[in-house]
């Protein structure tokens, strides 16, 4: 009887540990992908705002030259 009980407990422990490791792996993977997405968005937002400022300056200079 104790053999069956120890076998059952070892199986439970094995399943629990495998579930825990899989869950932690999933969580780390998800957080890392989320971080990469944030970096990607941040880069493109900065790039877009920089281009917007350049176009604004260019348009301002062109409009000043056309009126002068």
What is the Rg, in whole angstroms, of the alpha carbon atoms belonging to the chain?
Answer: 29
> What does the chain come to in residues?
68
Kindly give the confidence (pLDDT) of every residue in the chain, 68 residues in length, as a single tens digit, with 9 standing for 90 and above. Answer: 798 889 999 999 999 999 999 999 999 998 888 888 877 777 776 777 767 776 776 677 666 665 55
CA 68 – CA 66 distance, rounded (Å): 6
What's this model's pTM, rounded to 2 decimal places?
Answer: 0.50
């Amino acid at each position: 009887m104790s053999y069956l009980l120890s076998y059952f407990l070892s199986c439970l422990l094995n399943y629990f540990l495998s579930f825990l490791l899989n869950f932690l792996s999933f969580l780390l993977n998800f957080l890392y992908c989320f971080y990469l997405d944030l970096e990607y968005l941040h880069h493109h937002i900065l790039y877009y705002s920089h281009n917007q400022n350049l176009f604004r300056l260019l348009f301002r200079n062109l409009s000043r030259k056309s009126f002068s």
